[in-house]
Structure 1
Amino acid sequence: MVAFSAAGLAAVSCSSSNDERPTFEAEDASREASVPPTSDDAEVPDALTSRDASFDAAALAVSCTSDPCATSLVTTLGTSDTDGAEGFCALLRDGTVACWGANQAGQLGRADEAGALDSPSPARVVGLTNIVRLEHTCAIDADGGVFCWGTGPFLQSDAQVTSTERTPVKLPIPSASYMGFSPIAACAELADGPVCWGSNTLAQVAAWTNPHPPAFLAPSPVATPNTTPVRNLYMANATFRLHDDGIVDSWGANPAIARESSLAPDPYPAKLALEPVSHIDVVASNGCAVSLGIGYCWGAPIPEAKFSFKPDNLFDRALPEPVIVPEPVHRIATTNHVVTTVLGDKIIQPQRWCAVGASGALFCWGFNASGQAGDGTQHYASEAVKVVSLAAPAADVKTTPNATCALLTTGKVHCWGSNFYGQLGTGKLKASSLVPQEVVLP
């Protein structure tokens, strides 16, 4: 087991079918953009892209009137960024955590007898109490203890980067306030700053000391240029450290770091030009952020049919670009593109995005073969469409490639799209829905 002390750290410099796996239409494979397409002559309305310094960036508050009541919502991770992991977890107001959906990587955090079975019925993660913060399948309790489950860089072995933990394990790190992790690397915000560990193939952990970075880096402190208090950490192929003043430092894969750099990857934390930022969502080499009511997205290009990138378009989406949504937004979420094989042919499933408007209305755009855009259709959403039939205003939204879930201001969670893995949380497996359905929280 890997363990260390704070003193030691200081010394270290789908488809609509109810019973089939989601499938992907080849005609959608070329549809990808950070911004919903518009005609060449169309002008973006000023009201949708103008930054308002007086905009209240805080998400709409959750007001629990009855139990069970969720206070935050996250997605789970699989064994990699491309394995199509589909699942969600919710932090309940009693300090426990409930998860549902895919479980091949142990994401549900249930007792060993549950095995690797997917589940459409949310149930509490074993042994978690007094939890105050969630990040995918890691939870932080009121004392700063970090507990993780599923498959990830959970510091349980010196011999391998990741392990699969079907029930939560406490990470051997000092008390943390925030945690960010991907399937292969992680960072935690400690009292003296961020500490990162895991695979460093994309320099999202630390600077390379030789051309061939080691397979595993032990927890090490990271020096970032901004010393103001931190609001959150986010990690995928790049790492983002969001400060209370809205400044963001990033390092790692390029494109993915959302800033200009001559290094690819870039292991040196530096400031994004976009500020102030109030919210970020990242997956693989794609990300989105909110600044003064405007959503911005960026990322790596989707590979073409031969799965190669053209040198002249590798950085086409490298910098944040504004998205077009009918009203200012509080929260935004993105998915990664997914590659699948159909009858021997590799097919690319494009991305999808969703955003919570200032009114609590929810808008989605992009891939929609399983109805995951929430407008009641299965048509590709080339422009932001409004999610229909939400029972209350949304406080937050989370997306997987084939399903979407929203945390409502009532503390209830509603989901829609594919349900092949039970990711809608309705208690019914493989019963998809084109409109929001209430999750049956325990």
Structure 2
Amino acid sequence: MVRLVLVALCVCLCAACGSPLQCGELEYDADEHQCVCPAGRHAIDGACVALVGDGGIVGDAGDGSAPTDASSAQELGDTGVDGSVSLCPEGWADCDSSDDNGCETQLDTLAHCGGCGDACGWACEHGVCNDAIAIAAGGLHSCALREAGDVVCWGDNEYGQLGDGTTLDSLVPVRVAGLQNAVAISSSRGSHTCALLESGQVLCWGANNSGQLGNGETSTAQPTPVPVLSPGAAFVGVSAGSNSTCAWRSSGEALCWGYNGSGQIGDGTEERRVVPTPVEGIDDAIAMRVGGGHACAIRSGRTLECWGSNAHGQLGDGTDGAGVPDRADSASPTAVANLGPSVYSIGAGLWNTCAVLAAGGLRCWGRNSEGQVGDGTTTLRNAPTTVRGLESGVLGVDGGTFHACALISTGAVECWGRNNEGELGDGTSVDRSAPGPVALRGAAIALATGVAHSCVVTAEGAVECWGRNLAGNLGDGTTLSRTTPVAVLPPAVSSE
């Protein structure tokens, strides 16, 4: 227990104010016509108390350090004229405006981060909120971009895809080593992750067996971020697929790298590329998305072109390979049919693709064996098909292996397709060939799907995930799969 250091032990009578106080060194203020404590001491509970150091008081050890627990802090403070405690030790405050319990609130909680009532949604670090603003979901791992520009990841780490310098799985978020000033992140169904920095540079980490990190090498996995080797204009976006990656520059130039067995690099060949390689004919890209063995780009005129694997009609050009690999693939971009200049955003699953139109309607195509196209059937679609019930109000879409999810303007999320591991987040394990609502805890502002799990960022800045959880990729501290969203635990506070 911290002791109050009383400057006096006697009771003295001040003639000017006529009141007995335990004051010892009481001084008479001729201007105010009252008795006051000397400089450096404060009247608390009828006593002159010496406060020492940064708002702290002399403690049991006599080191002048600030209190570290509530019972100590509650004994501190300088009572103001309104009855509240006006002087508290660093990191504490009198948030209930009562001198009965002193400085009762520590300012490092979600409800009070740096100030009374300054609430955070996910993480309070050193008196400042550092909540999630974007999300990415890989094969068995997930990552979140936070307000401070750092990135945290959790789940499978066999290839270093968590970026923390180890290959140890983590059931809770851990920081990506040395990564700062990130503005976007991506990881889709694979074991690598990429981040775009404010400077326009792209960094990637994790598996690199096909050169998907873009650092000029293969085979060597990287457990911390490495720069993509691509001099030139700044990148403005990045999309990481199963074993290839694409990015686009401020100039509109589209580039891809990594595995190219189905022509997903888009350079007219099927040769693996270990550094960014221009996509044929795409010099005005404004967005890109990489699926399993295919990729797509929105061009400046809001048209959509795709390339790579087309075994299940995922290129959307009206052809398909009837499920046979390589039969209808295209190593160069091909126009998606029946969309016109109206594409707002895109999402890509392992074998299917979706596009949000400018009016907010959703179209999907490709493999549909589990209902992942969302048209109420399980029939393969090799051209864009209307997703049932989502003809307006859609902001974004993302696809997994056998399921897909859409973010709605109301903050709701709807999913469809396979549900044997809770991928649809509706509390059941029943497949659905048309969209249905996810049982979210709060309104969503960002969405990402992995192989068989999905995650959102809520409007408060928290993160929720659901579905398969074999390696802790839901971030709730367990490996239990979940049929409804669970809160991702906040990362540990950095010592920096």
TM over 0.5: yes
Residue 129 (structure 2) pairs with residue 75 (structure 1):
no
Deviations for 1:92-111, whole angstroms, at most 9, x for unmatched residues?
01000111112223211112
Mapped contact 1:419–1:431 kept (Cα < 8 A)? yes
Within a 5 Å distance, the mapping from 1:356-367 to structure 2 comes to: 356-367=407-418
Helix, strand or coil for the counterpart of 1:293? coil
Alpha-carbon separation, structure 1, partners of 2:489 and 2:364: 32
Point out which structure has higher relative CO (alpha carbons under 8 A, 6+ apart): 1
Alpha-carbon separation, structure 1, partners of 2:152 and 2:297: 27
Counterpart of 1:101, as a letter, is G
Which of 453, 462, 472 is residue 422 of structure 1 equivalent to? 472
Instruction: Pick closer, same or farther for the CA change 1:64–1:244 going to 2, 3 Å.
Output: farther
Deviations for 1:291-323, whole angstroms, at most 9, x for unmatched residues?
1222221124659xxxxxxxxxxx932212111
Partner of 2:343: 277
Counterpart of 1:129, as a letter, is Q
Counterpart of 2:315, as a letter, is I
Partner of 1:386: 437
Helix, strand or coil for the counterpart of 1:258? coil
Helix, strand or coil for the counterpart of 2:334? strand
Mapped contact 1:121–1:440 kept (Cα < 8 A)? yes
Helix, strand or coil for the counterpart of 1:369? coil
Within a 5 Å distance, the mapping from 1:1-400 to structure 2 comes to: 67-76=129-138, 85-112=139-166, 115=167, 117-136=168-187, 137-152=193-208, 153-157=212-216, 160=218, 163-174=220-231, 175-192=234-251, 193-208=253-268, 213-216=270-273, 219-224=276-281, 227-228=283-284, 230-236=285-291, 237-254=293-310, 255-260=313-318, 264-272=328-336, 273-275=338-340, 276-291=342-357, 292-300=359-367, 316-325=380-389, 328-336=393-401, 351-388=402-439, 390-400=440-450
Give the TM-score of the pair, scaled to structure 1.
0.69
Instruction: Pick closer, same or farther for the CA change 1:154–1:418 going to 2, 3 Å.
Output: closer
Alpha-carbon separation, structure 1, partners of 2:238 and 2:451: 23
Counterpart of 2:473, as a letter, is Q
Q: Which 4+ stretches in 1 moved above 4 angstroms?
A: 63-66, 215-218
Mapped contact 1:186–1:197 kept (Cα < 8 A)? yes
Question: Gaps spanning 5+ residues in structure 1: where?
Answer: 1-62, 77-84, 304-314, 337-350
Residue 490 (structure 2) pairs with residue 434 (structure 1):
no
Instruction: Pick closer, same or farther for the CA change 1:417–1:248 going to 2, 3 Å.
Output: same
Alpha-carbon separation, structure 2, partners of 1:214 and 1:166: 26
Helix, strand or coil for the counterpart of 1:260? coil
The CA RMSD over aligned residues, in Å, is 2.8
Q: How many residues align?
A: 336
Q: CA deviation at 1:215?
A: 4.4
Helix, strand or coil for the counterpart of 2:381? coil
Mapped contact 1:235–1:282 kept (Cα < 8 A)? yes
Counterpart of 2:418, as a letter, is F
Counterpart of 1:232, as a letter, is A
Partner of 2:69: none
Partner of 2:11: none
Question: Gaps spanning 5+ residues in structure 2: where?
Answer: 1-118, 188-192, 321-326, 371-378, 492-496
Partner of 1:41: none
Instruction: Pick closer, same or farther for the CA change 1:197–1:436 going to 2, 3 Å.
Output: closer
Instruction: Pick closer, same or farther for the CA change 1:374–1:215 going to 2, 3 Å.
Output: closer
Which of 455, 458, 462 is residue 408 of structure 1 equivalent to? 458
Alpha-carbon separation, structure 1, partners of 2:429 and 2:186: 30
Counterpart of 1:319, as a letter, is A
Alpha-carbon separation, structure 1, partners of 2:202 and 2:222: 14
Counterpart of 1:430, as a letter, is T
Counterpart of 1:397, as a letter, is L
Instruction: Pick closer, same or farther for the CA change 1:191–1:373 going to 2, 3 Å.
Output: closer
Instruction: Pick closer, same or farther for the CA change 1:317–1:120 going to 2, 3 Å.
Output: same
Instruction: Pick closer, same or farther for the CA change 1:324–1:217 going to 2, 3 Å.
Output: same
Alpha-carbon separation, structure 2, partners of 1:358 and 1:246: 21
Helix, strand or coil for the counterpart of 1:140? strand
Q: CA deviation at 1:439?
A: 1.2
Counterpart of 1:256, as a letter, is Q
Counterpart of 2:385, as a letter, is E
